Amino acid sequence: MSDALRPEDKALILDFGGVISRTLFETHALSEAALGLAAGTLTWQGPFAPETDALWQAMQADQISERDYWMQRTREVGRLLGEDWTEMQTFVQRARGADVAAVIRPEAVAAIQQAKALGYKLGILSNELDLFYGADFRERLPLLQQFDVIVDATYTQILKPDPRAYQACLQALGVQAKHGVFVDDQLRNVLGAQRCGLPVVHLDVCQPGAGFAKALQMLAAL
């Protein structure tokens, strides 16, 4: 058994929404400006103020799905504009289309750059990257060119926490599960990765820097 893995035998695998990008909760001001809504119109805060967001509490209790949560918010915002929005991507693309870089976490950028410099492989495992952001989003966000692999259920139709999603990403990266670290902000997806043998970090979106630092420390220790 070798004393240490080569950097290229290790991989940092990230979810996109909420991990690389800031959550829609964090960017209400940007959304309001992009949509022409008055400042302070959007008041739901999800994990940042769960006690004031009953719908978020219902999702966390598995009474509704994450997609159910966002579909209701999508419809609400559409109605504020006098429009009938029936797809989440309408909300995401209208609210986030103007300034792509503004919705990306600086902590994520720093971690991605550090992982790349250290020689680790980089992967994204997302349930809806192109579905929500549009197929041209990858061209508008140069950061994504840093990644060796992007596995997007928009095309595979295999959603986390299905074990096949993680396995497909690992296979594409060419690394063993125990040699990767997976980061996601949704507990169900973190638990799914753990069941596949991946070391995991459940990112606290209120303290993202700590989560990325932990992931890099875990990779270094492998």
Domains assigned to the chain: 7-22+104-221 (3.40.50.1000), 28-100 (no CATH)
| pLDDT interval class at 1 (50, 70, 90) | very low
Query: Does the model's pTM come out above 0.75?
Result: yes
For CA atoms 130, 133, 138, 139, the dihedral sign is: positive
Q: How far apart are CA 49 and CA 212, in angstroms?
A: 22
Beta carbons within 10 angstroms of residue 52's beta carbon: 12
Count of positions (residues) in the chain: 222
Q: How far apart are CA 22 and CA 173, in angstroms?
A: 25
Query: For the segment 182-219, what is each residue's pLDDT rounded down to a tens digit?
Result: 999 999 899 999 999 999 999 999 999 999 999 999 99
Predicted pLDDT of residue 62: 86
The string of DSSP codes covering 75-97 is HHHHHHTT----SHHHHHHHHHS
Average pLDDT over residues 81-108: 91
Least confident of 51-55, 136-140, 195-199: 136-140
